[in-house]
Amino acid sequence: MILDKYIETALKLGADHAVKFTIDQIVFDSRTLLKCMFGCSDWGYGHTCPSREGSLKPWEYEKILRNYKCGIIIHSTNKKISQDVSFEIERQAFLDGYYFAFSMSDCACCEKCTGFSGHKCANPKKARPAFHSVGIDVFKTVRQFGLPIDTLKDRDETVNWYSAVFID
């Protein structure tokens, strides 16, 4: 299956794990918006933030994303690797004829987001919304696959970054 090819590519590009999913395995929960609004210091700044003007709401993302059949989830302990891998898989899937392929990852395009200085996004074609910011419960979703994820208890703990590429 084509997803096996993308998993192999993700691992070659540096992902710690890559697993295939079907859309029914994605756990949607619009409460993620509360955690963004009241728990994220990036709220109101980034191009991919759900606070930006014109951003879709989680329930709108869910309606759109449910049109996909499958995809892959990418795990890395490096935020930039997670984004770079997911974007490359999106590109490859598009070139393979899956023209609606779409990646989501916590943005790591710039060392410091230009949104914090009041400027427009420096990489609007590459920046994507975070997997969690579109109304996906990343914890419940990735735990189904035995992937590592826990709430962080201190700043010295390893962060697990997740991205996904939706393919149809």
State mean pLDDT over 32-53: 73
Highest mean pLDDT among 7-21, 24-38, 48-62, 136-150: 7-21
Residue 21 pairs in a beta bridge with 71
Cβ neighbours of 20 (radius 10 Å): 17
Q: Is residue 71 scored above 70 in pLDDT?
A: yes
What percent of the chain stands above pLDDT 70? 89
pLDDT of residue 10: 96
**How many domains in the chain?**
1
Contact yes or no for 160/80 (Cβ under 8 A): no
pLDDT of residue 162: 92
What pTM was computed for the model? 0.88
More confident residue, 64 or 44: 64
pLDDT of residue 85: 96
Q: How far apart are CA 69 and CA 123, in angstroms?
A: 28
DSSP-assigned letters across all residues of 51-113: TSTTPPPHHHHHHHHTT--EEEEEEESSHHHHHHHHHHHHHHHHHTT-TT-EEE----SSSS-
Count how many residues are written for the chain. 168
Rounded to 5°, the CA angle 70-73-78 comes to: 160
State mean pLDDT over 26-31: 92
Give pLDDT tens digits for 120-138. Answer: 776 677 778 888 888 899 9
Q: What is the CA radius of gyration of the chain?
A: 15
pLDDT of residue 47: 67
Give pLDDT tens digits for 89-119. Answer: 999 999 999 999 999 988 776 677 766 667 6
pLDDT of residue 1: 65
pLDDT of residue 129: 85
Residue 74 belongs to domain spanning: 2-167
